[in-house]
Amino acid sequence: MTPCALLAAAFVALARPAAAEVVTPIADILQDKAKHDHRWLCVAGRATEVSVAISPVRHHKFWTAKLADDAARIVLFAYGAPPFSEGDAIEACGIFARLKKARSTGEIFRDEFNVTNVLQGASMRAGKVKITPKGIVAVAADGKETAPKYKDPAQPLSR
C-alpha cells in the first residue's frame, strides 16, 4: 500500500463516528437487579426531582435525581453539581448497586445508580463514552479516550 493510500485509510478510520454505547432500559435493570448489580451501564430518560446537598460528615457536595424512561425510573447519585436541569433528557453512565453502604454514615441505599458521566442532546447514544470492565471511558471527538476516574462513593454489600 502506498503512503498516500495508507494515510487516506487512516483518515477514513478516524473520521468514522465511534459506535454508540448500549443504553440499558431502566425496567430491565429493575427486573433483574442481580444481573446488573455492580455493572457499568448507561441509562437514558428524563430527569426529575433533582436535588443538591452537602454530606453531613465529609461535607462534600452531591446530587440526586430520578431518571424516568417510558417504563420505569431509577435514583441517580453523584458528587458535585448536576450538569443538567429538572426535566432535561439525559443519558447517565455509571454503576448500578442493589445495595450499598455509605462510608461516612453507614447508611444503606438500595437500587441506586452511581453516575460518572452525563450526556445530553447530540452527545446521547453517539459514542461519546465507552463502557469497559473497569468503568466508563470518555471518548473525545478525535477518538482519544480518557481513562475512567471513578471512586466508588459507597461500599457494595455482599449479594
| Structural domains of the chain, with CATH | 17-156 (2.40.50.140)
Residue type, 154: A
Which segments of 17-88 are extended strands (E)? Answer: 40-54, 61-68, 73-79
Q: Rounded to two decimals, what is the model's pTM?
A: 0.79
Q: Indicate the SS3 state at residue 48.
A: strand
Give Cβ neighbours of residue 136 (< 8 Å, ≥ 6 apart): 40, 42, 93, 94, 116, 117, 129, 130, 148, 150
Average pLDDT for residues 31-56, to the nearest whole number?
A: 94
C-alpha dist (Å) from residue 80 to 2, 54, 115, 117: 51, 9, 11, 12
pLDDT in tens, 84-135: 999 999 999 999 999 888 877 888 889 999 999 999 999 999 989 988 888 8
